[in-house]
Amino acid sequence: MGTTFVIDLSVLVLAGFVGYAVISKVPNTLHTPLMSGTNAIHGVVVLGGLLLMHVATGWLEHLLLVIAVAFGTINVIGGFLVTDRMLGMFKSKPPTPEETAKALEEDNK
């Protein structure tokens, strides 16, 4: 049990560093999708609700866990969907006719 705890703690610390390294590279343009994306990812708490449901006894504990699972599901499904919808709106400038011509020329070479 002691070792498990040490492993968990190691994962915690390392994941913190990985998270910092990955997220630091996200440009300002994508900060809103980043926030809604992380909304989806912290929906991972739904796992806690799923794992505890069979342990719970009494209507109150069950009710609390159903709410927790519902909350987590809202996060996961809502978060990923809204992020996808938002990212779909980010478009680059269409190439100008000259740029297209230039690209074609280079292709022909």
Partner 1 sequence: MIAQATVFFRTTYFIDAAYIVAFSLLIYGMSGLTGPRTAVRGNKIASVGMAVAVIATLLTPGVWAGTTTVILIIVGVVIGTVIGIPAALKVRMTAMPQMVAIFNGVGGGAVALIAWVEFRHHFEPGFFPLRTEIFELFGAIVGSISFWGSNIAFGKLQEILPGRPIKLPGASQTILNLVLFVVAVGSAIVLCAGVHSQALFILGILVTSAVLGNMVVLPIGGADMPVVISLLNAFTGLSAAATGVALNNTVMIVAGMIVGASGTILTNLMAKAMNRSVPAIVAGGFGGAVAAPDRGSELEGRTVRSTSAQDVAIQLAYARQVVVAPGYGMAVAQAQHAVRELERALEAKGVTVKYAIHPVAGRMPGHMNVLLAEADVPYDLLREMDDINPEFSRTDVTLVIGANDVTNPAAKNEPGSPIYGMPILEVDRSGSVIVLKRSMASGFAGIDNPLFYEPKTAMLFGDAKQSVSEITAEVQAL
Within residues 29-58, the interface with partner 1 by CB under 8 A covers 29-57
- The CA-based angle 31-44-68, given to 5 degrees, is 115
98 near partner 1, judged by CB under 8 A: no
- 27 vs 97 by CB, closer to partner 1: 27
Q: Which of 20, 97, 98, 107 is in the footprint of partner 1 by CB under 8 A?
A: 20
Best CA proximity match to 80, nearest among 45, 44, 36, 47: 36
4 near partner 1, judged by CB under 8 A: yes
d(CA 91, CA 29): 12
